[in-house]
Chains A and B, each alone.
Chain A
């Protein structure tokens, strides 16, 4: 089954404790992206990757890091999480038709 898999789906953590949200897709897609979704602000892009070893900032990259060492994986790293990073995070991928995204199920992160 074609899918984008995110883990963990739910996480409660404390300020400053490094965490990684993994994202993996099995569709051989070149393009992958991370979004966060907040009430009243909609979906905002954090980072995206056009292919292996090619990443670029989205609209709200502060406080986040990403890497793309393999085509299928695109982890989102929060080096020192803060409460304003409490949000619902979505990973998405596509085969270069950038608007036609396949989304993962989402990861709800709470930073205390």
Chain B
């Protein structure tokens, strides 16, 4: 079992719809969770992080964390073609110095 798992996609959503991305992790000791966006041929960039159970909203993005079920999700509201990218989930263990990434979910937003 991989430490951090994501559906590779592609997740195809129409423009204006909500894109829902999921990520599960295996280590119950994980404390911090991050979402990175990576455009094709570019480097990853941090878009959201969440440390506590519940929802965290930032603009059109909402991160959701459920530590009991060991999953974290990212919602993209009012999806735009510019949101077409690969989204990487990353997990940091407690007192850890290593960030572990999932394989990424490719999102395609169609006009």
Chain A residues with a Cβ under 8 A of chain B: 31, 33, 35, 40-45, 48, 50, 56, 58-59, 90, 98-101, 103-106
Contact = CB atoms under 8 A, between A and B. Distances in A.
B69 interface: no
Which of B96, B97, B101 has the largest count of A CB atoms less than 10 A from its CB? B97
B101 A42 contact: yes
Contact of B34 (A42, A99, A106): A99
B99 interface: yes
B32 A50 contact: no
Identify whether the interface residues of B are mostly helix, strand, loop, or mixed. Answer: strand
Nearest to B2: A42
Given A99-B33, A99-B92, 15 more contacts: A42-B101, A42-B104, A43-B90, A48-B97, A48-B98, A59-B98, A98-B32, A98-B92, A98-B96, A98-B98, A100-B46, A101-B44, A101-B46, A105-B42, A106-B43
B44 A99 contact: no
29 contacts: A33-B99, A41-B103, A43-B88, A43-B101, A44-B101, A45-B99, A50-B97, A56-B97, A58-B98, A59-B100, A90-B43, A90-B44, A98-B32, A98-B97, A98-B99, A99-B32, A99-B34, A99-B90, A100-B34, A100-B46, A100-B49, A101-B36, A101-B44, A101-B46, A103-B43, A103-B44, A103-B45, A105-B42, A106-B42
